[in-house]
Amino acid sequence: MSVPTELRHGPLGPNCLHLCVDMQRLFAEETDWFTPWMKRVLPNVQRLVAAHPERTLFTRFIPLDAPGQGDGTWRRYYEHWPSMTLSRLGADRVDILPELAAFSPPAEILDKTVYSPWMDDALDRRLRQRGIDTLIVSGGETDVCVLGTVLGGVDRGYRLVVVTDALCSSSDETHDASMGVYRRRYGQQVETATTDEVLAAWT
């Protein structure tokens, strides 16, 4: 089988894990953080998860409980978005979309309260214990939590593969700009490929 040209560092083998970022109800439903593209990319994300659920980890963004909580700019953030605190949303809104949640277990879940999943060493430790050195990244948003996920993975030396047709954002403009950054500014550390290319190379 030929290796897709976008995956210039070769096929994706047994040390690869799919990191699926924040595919949750609070972004897919009619909330103030509604991301219209999420349902559009869901079939491709689902294909990636279904291919290797035992090598998938979902992250979940967990908002703070109520306005007035949080440190520094996060306090101001939730004063601006009081409707997106857990006391207003309901705890079930942080759930992974049901089409994906059906794969957990064996897929794992990691909760975070900020954009990046790398704020402590919990994720890195879990991955290193499993011998993971390559991360396939899907989910949302391209220019927020996916960006934090990708840059943290780069800093820790992982091979990063961003799946171009399995990402979503609430902004076309900043999605496109972020994809340009991934391809041009991080070209030595980040690869981009379609869902079909990733699945063809993931053995």
- Domains, the chain, ordered by start: 16-201 (3.40.50.850)
Residue 174's pLDDT is what? Answer: 87
Phi, psi angle pair for 71, to nearest 5°: -100, 145
Q: Produce one character per residue of 25-53: b if its CB has 16 or more CB atoms within 10 Å, e if not.
A: bbbbeebebebebbeebbebbbbbbeebb
Q: What is the mean pLDDT of the chain?
A: 93
The model's pTM: 0.93
Instruction: Quick: pLDDT tens for 111-154.
Output: 999 999 999 999 999 999 999 999 999 999 888 999 999 999 99
Half-sphere exposure of 53 (CA within 13 A, CB side): 11
Torsion of CA 173, 177, 180, 181, to 10 degrees: -160
Q: Is the peptide bond before 54 cis (omega within 30 degrees of 0)?
A: no
Query: What are 74-115's pLDDT values in tens digits?
Result: 999 999 999 999 999 999 999 999 999 999 999 999 999 999
